[in-house]
Amino acid sequence: MKFMKQQKKFESREQQQVSETSSQQKTSSREFASVEELLRYDAKQTTVPPGIAQRLGQSLQKEPRPARSWWRRWFR
Amino acid sequence: MDSSLTERPSLDQPRSDLVSEEFADLYQNHSREIYYLTLRLLGDVHKAEDATHDVFLKACRKWDTFRGESSYRTWLYRIAINHCSNLRQSWSNRHLVTNVDEAVWEGATASGDSPLRVLEMKELGDRIQKTLDELSEEYRLLLLLIADEELSYEEIGTLTEQSPDAVRGKLHRARKMFAAMFEQHQ
């Protein structure tokens, strides 16, 4: 009886491991319907490095002030 | 993000701050697509960082020349495409860059419409980059632009200086070539 319980426990643990493995495989594989879908996914996964904004901020501070403000374009 | 790009000054503040406010919105709304385009066109994270910085700096300098005839998105794409093209031109003068001959792929069995199976997501970016690098510069650019859902065939035609029909035809071939090469990098 004790042996059967242990065996069941072992079998369920084994089944759990199999299902974990297959779910890991599922998460690492994927099918894309088109090239566009693949590239859109890739773009969404890509993060913009925060250093760019910092550098840009520093560069803009060194820029001379504009001769004419952007909003004046609306009153020409 | 740097505070100079995120501050929201009031209308009483100096005009340079007003430019900063408008420009911060521009950067927040479009930096992702510009960074992605430069990353995949240049194939290098550091070069893409430099290029994205330079594109937005040029945009700021040209701020007064923007006439609203196109969207900010296509305006920025235009600056980015020219910038990357100039960079690649200067490299190709020093290093001969060759793309795979299109004729080789004419008879490719993979269709651009068939699903693309990816077994290992970890290396997906590298695989996409390798595949894009093997395409001609024009095909690479067309695929990257059509992947932006907000761009129409007309806008892509304007950006690449050709008719929307020409864009459609070339994209058909570009998808097919991409799919065939992508399969090979499995």
Q: What is the ipTM of this complex?
A: 0.80
> Model confidence over A1-13: pLDDT tens digits?
444 444 455 455 5
Q: Model-level pTM greater than 0.90?
A: no
Burial of B11 (0-12, 13-18, 19+ CB in 10 A): exposed
pLDDT 10s digits, B120-164: 777 899 999 999 999 999 999 999 999 999 999 999 999 999 999
User: How many Cβ atoms from other residues are within 10 Å of residue A54's Cβ?
Assistant: 16
Chain B within 8 Å of A45 (Cβ-Cβ)? Answer: yes
Instruction: With CB atoms and an 8 Å threshold, state whether A30 touches B60.
Output: no
Strand, helix or coil at A31?
A: strand
Query: A35: which chain B residues are within 8 Å (Cβ-Cβ)?
Result: 112, 116, 143, 147, 174-175, 178-179, 182
